[in-house]
Amino acid sequence: MSCIAVVGSINQDIVIRVPRIPRPGETVHHGRLARYAGGKGANQAVAAARAGATVSMLAAVGTDPDGDDLLRGLIAEGVDTTHVARVDSAATGTALIAVDDAGANSIAVAEGANFEIDPADITSAIAGIQPDAVIGQREVPDDVTNAAFGAAPPGLRVLNVSPVDEGVAIDFALVDIAVVNEIEAAQLTADSNADDPAALARALATRTHRGCVVTLGGQGLVAHVDGQTHVQPAFPTTVVDTTGAGDAFCGVFAAALAAGRPVETALRWGQAAGALAAATPGAQPSMPRRHDIRRLADSGT
C-alpha cells in the first residue's frame, strides 16, 4: 500500500444551493443551506485514502469547534492527522460556496489557519514520514509547498496548480506532474495556443520533471507525461456539484501512480473519480470509494 503525504488546506465549507449564481449586487432567494468538510488538501487526502492509499495530512486548523469537527472527520476516513497543527492565531479556514442548478459553483475563501503553516514543520514531517508521493496545491502558501516538495524523497510529487494568480511562486523544478485546468494552463504558460489543450500540456510539461495533465471538465483531459501524450474522454455523469471533482481526480490519480499503476490507468481512475464526485453534493462527502472508481473505470465507457 502506497504512503501519501498531502500538504494543503482544510476548510469548513458553507454551501448554498441556489437557482443561479448571483451577479455582483444581486440577491438570489430560495437557497438551501448545508455544511460540508472541505479544503482542497483535505479533499485530496480523503480521495486518496478512499482509493486505498495510506495518507498523512500536513496542514493547520484553528483551535475552534470547526477545527475539532474537521479533524474528527479526517480521522474517521483513516487519514493520519498527527502533523496537522492547531493554531490560536487564526480561525479554521472557511469557504462560502454558491452552487447553481447546473452544478456550477462560485467560491469565496477565508484561508485562516491554512496560511499559518510553518514550512519548517512541513520539512520535518516529510522527513519523518518518507512518503512514496506528495500532493500539493495552492490553498496554502507556496513556500510551504516548496518546502514539502524539496524535502520529499525520490518518488512522486504531484502539484494541483490551483488556484492560479499572478503571485505563483512554486518551484516547478521540484514538481514531477502538474495538474491544471485549461484556463490555468494558459495562464501559466502565456501560450498562444490557448485553444489547443495538447499544446498547453506539452508547454507546461517542459517545466516539470515528468509532465502535465490538463483537465477539460465535460470534455475529459489531455496529458503529456514521460514524453507521451494521453487523451482521456470524460465519463458520462449527471452533474450535481462540481466543487470536489478536481480534488477527487488529483487524489485518486496520485494514489494510482504511487501504487505503481501505468499512467494511462491512473488517468482513467482519476477521471472516473472526478465524474463520480461531480454527481454527489458536497466536497469531501463526494469523494468516491475504490470499488465505485474501479467499476466505472473498467466499464469501457
C-beta separation of 79 from 46 below 8 A: yes
- Residues with Cβ within 8 Å of 73's Cβ and at least 6 positions away in sequence, in order, are 37, 284
CA-based nearest residue to 226, from 239, 242, 213:
213
Chain centroid, CA 233 distance in Å:
20
**Residue pair 94/116 in contact by the 8 Å Cβ criterion:** no
Structural Rg of the chain based on CA atoms:
18
Assess contact for 248 and 286: CB atoms under 8 A.
yes
| Displacement of CA 167 from its chain's centroid (Å) | 19
Our answer to whether residue 247 is catalytic in this structure is yes
298 CB contacts (<8 Å, ≥6 apart)? none
Q: Which of 80, 176, 241, 247 is catalytic?
A: 247
Whether 272 and 235 have beta carbons less than 8 Å apart is answered as yes
Distance separating alpha carbons of residues 80 and 148, to the nearest angstrom: 17
State the cell numbers at 229: 501524450
Contacts of 243 (CB under 8 A, 6+ apart): 13, 15, 38, 97, 99, 105, 107, 282, 283, 286
* Non-local CB neighbours of 161 within 8 Å, separated by 6+ positions: 137, 138, 168, 170, 178, 179, 180, 184, 188
* Alpha-helical regions (H) of the chain: 40-50, 65-76, 119-129, 142-151, 182-189, 197-205, 245-258, 263-278, 290-297
Neighbours of 128 (CB within 10 A): 12
Instruction: Supply the residues annotated as catalytic.
Output: 247
